[in-house]
Amino acid sequence: MHLFDRDISLQQKSTLSFRGEVSKNWLINDIANGGYVLALAAKAMQTVSDKHGTPIITANYIGPCIPGEIDIELEKIAQSYKFSRFQARLYQDGKEKTRVWGTFMKENIGTAVERYEKDPPNVTPREECVLMPANSGNTLSQNLEMFLDPDSARWMKGELTHRSDMRGWVRFREERGYDLPAVLLMADSMPPPIFVTYGIFSWVPTIELSVSVRKNPLTSWLKFRLHSCYLTNGIIEEDGEVWDEDGNLACICRQIAQVRLSE
């Protein structure tokens, strides 16, 4: 079994109730990565949903999750011919840590037209990109392989630019195909784009993350772009897109985060 599959496995206690465990393998600064937490909640929703096409998953992060046992309680919000909608509450030590909403569409009922009015992001070939180093406090980086476009990697040498734009490549270190939980993990795997303009600092905690999954990627390597335009009152948006190497859009995402330039 792949490490990620083991780390998102859940025990179904009842129809809408699950128990699982936050693994130590997907941490940033010893806190569970938001995309990984989202993957756990989405896995529970996916288990009970009668529809599995093009899910839209949104999370509000109430408190940080750390390695240890969790409980996930689901509620069916609405159900129709086309859509099934759920709410999930993720608890740790009796406290609600994350609340998630999921919309699942019936498969094969969409229009046959596929239209992109925007090309995949222009990212430098991998062999010319900069490898993101793995470190002990960031176990996510130990289990994902990531290369940053040279223009997006200057902050690692203390060189800053004028646009918060993060581009690069990412994949599992241990080969694995992509499904809903994996796409959600990848959507939140990149460094915050504000690092490009301000450099690395203590913390950019996620307040809300929404991911609209369009197609499961068909290639191992994924190409991404994440950019920010507005930092006001300590809040910043991060708009992202993830593509496979065949030019298929895997997902689009928006994250609202708090910027803490100092503690």
CATH number at residue 49: 2.40.160.210
Indicate whether 89 belongs to any domain.
yes
pLDDT tens by residue, 18-32: 999 999 999 998 999
Indicate whether 245 belongs to any domain.
yes
Indicate whether 114 belongs to any domain.
no
Indicate whether 112 belongs to any domain.
no
Indicate whether 9 belongs to any domain.
yes
CA atoms of 203 and 195, how far apart (whole Å): 11
Tokens of 14: 């009842």
Q: Is the pLDDT of residue 12 over 60?
A: yes
Indicate whether 133 belongs to any domain.
yes
**Strand bridging mode 164-172 / 144-148:** antiparallel
CA atoms of 25 and 127, how far apart (whole Å): 27
| pLDDT the model gives residue 114 | 85
Tokens of 184: 């959600």
Averaged pLDDT, 102-131: 90
| pLDDT the model gives residue 24 | 97
| pLDDT the model gives residue 107 | 85
Averaged pLDDT, 59-70: 97
Tokens of 59: 């999370």
Q: Amino acid letter at 78?
A: A
Total number of domains in the chain: 1
**What pTM did the predictor assign?**
0.95
Indicate whether 188 belongs to any domain.
yes
pLDDT tens by residue, 163-205: 999 999 999 999 999 999 999 999 999 999 999 999 886 578 9
pLDDT tens by residue, 130-172: 999 988 778 999 999 999 999 999 999 999 999 999 999 999 9
Averaged pLDDT, 55-82: 97
| DSSP conformation letters of 95-144 | EEEEEEEEEEEPTT-S-S----SSPPP----GGGSEEPPPBTTBHHHHHE
Q: Is the pLDDT of residue 263 over 60?
A: no
Indicate whether 263 belongs to any domain.
no
Averaged pLDDT, 1-14: 97
Enclosing domain of residue 57: 3-107+124-258
